[in-house]
Chain A
């Protein structure tokens, strides 16, 4: 199964709708709630990062028999230092974004904790591509 979503930078009120759509889909498929939670957290954080830090983005979700793959690619500033960005507490979120409750610097670490495989490709000035896989069996 393949699902595609589009994201606009700065559009916070729509952020989270792709992840909740996938959550509902996985629930219908009868997956364990523990797995659904992992997918929801990882996908939401990736979605919010595009909205908070990039200009626009696309999400492709592939649901296979034993895993889910989520690819989030954006046009945006890219991430100059990925190791630093992965550190809990590191954030470049603007004041406006912080007032909305984002910018704890926990999103990428949250993603890492919840997925079985994470790959970040990024180019400064162009954009970022985050691909993650979550296995259904553990």
Chain B
């Protein structure tokens, strides 16, 4: 499913632009960055409540291009700036990580 479709279907609030509207097939949920480093499949989307710039550093290294912030979290300024620099899409959901994962499963993102 394309990033823009996921954003629309889950009614997410977009914080960045989408310059490369790529297909995403896999997702990962985590609040621990070394767990993301170890276990997140490449090119997945990441669902998290971590809303600071360290998340972007990890996304660069793991080729993660799309972050969904759960529980209405907003990226801090530095996170947003780095995401814009690196063409990483950030969007916010009102739902929690569990509910977001359920919706993503229905869209065949697993």
B61 and A44 contact, CB distance less than 8 A: yes
A110 and B37 contact, CB distance less than 8 A: yes
Interface membership of A94, Cβ < 8 A: no
Q: Determine the distance from Cα of A17 to Cα of B86 in the docked complex, in whole angstroms.
A: 12
In the bound complex, residues from chain B placing their C-beta under 8 Å from that of A19 are: 57, 61
In the bound complex, residues from chain A placing their C-beta under 8 Å from that of B78 are: 13
A16 and B61 contact, CB distance less than 8 A: yes
Q: Chain A interface: which size bin?
A: 20 to 34
Query: B67-88 toward A: CB 8 Å interface, digit per residue (1/0)?
Result: 0000000000010000000000
Given A101-B32, A104-B35, A106-B32, are A20 and B54 neighbors across the interface (CB < 8 Å)?
no
Query: A35-51 toward B: CB 8 Å interface, digit per residue (1/0)?
Result: 00100110011001000
In the bound complex, residues from chain B placing their C-beta under 8 Å from that of A12 are: 52-54
Q: Determine the distance from Cα of A14 to Cα of B55 in the docked complex, in whole angstroms.
A: 12
A106 and B35 contact, CB distance less than 8 A: yes
A16 and B37 contact, CB distance less than 8 A: no
B-binding residues in A (CB < 8 A): 12-13, 15-17, 19-20, 23, 33, 37, 40-41, 44-45, 48, 100-104, 106-107, 109-110, 113
A107 and B54 contact, CB distance less than 8 A: no
Interface membership of B50, Cβ < 8 A: yes
A44 and B42 contact, CB distance less than 8 A: no
Q: List 6 A-B contacts (CB under 8 A).
A: A12-B53, A16-B58, A44-B61, A48-B33, A100-B33, A106-B37
Query: Which of B37, B50, B54, B62 is in CB contact (< 8 Å) with A15?
Result: B54
